[in-house]
Amino acid sequence: MSSIPKNLQRLLLITLIILSYTHAFASCGKNAVLGFFEDGETIADIADKCEMDEADVKSIVSKKTPSPPDTKLPPGTPLEGCGCWGFVTPGATQAMPACSKGYAHASACGAMCPTGGFAWQRICN
């Protein structure tokens, strides 16, 4: 017979089962996986390092954070106030990366300039 009491044997057995079960899932938490990913490690490398399936790593990484909102200016946004900025053809377009569609157009404001012509401004298309 064993010198260890039955209750202690059961407790040790349950403890060993629990420890082996939790180790089978992963040795890295969500924050560790995200940290490795932000450091430039591949999903395969993270899966090996954390003893996880690649699918599990992908699911953690894909839920990381929502994409930042579009910070480009919406159509109709004036890029400067009306002014006498020189001669321009009304409706002329210009590449403008700050605008959501990537370009802006010249729009006459209706005021006359002292040297002739109309005041105008650029507006995102």
Shortest CA distance to 70 belongs to which of 26, 101, 48, 110? 101
Q: What is each CA distance from 83 to 17, 53, 59, 98, 121, in whole angstroms?
A: 77, 61, 53, 20, 7
Question: How far is residue 55's CA from residue 26's CA, in Å, rounded to a whole number?
Answer: 13
Q: Is the domain of 75 the same as that of 124?
A: yes
Same domain for 80 and 42: no
Instruction: Supply the pTM of this predicted model.
Output: 0.45
pLDDT 10s digits, 22-56: 444 447 888 888 888 888 888 899 989 898 888 98
Number of domains in the chain: 2
Strands 93-95 and 118-124: unpaired
**54 lies in the same domain as 77:** no
Write down the mean pLDDT value for the chain.
83
> What pLDDT was estimated at residue 89?
86
Residue 103, domain extent = 70-125
Both 90 and 115 in one domain: the answer is yes
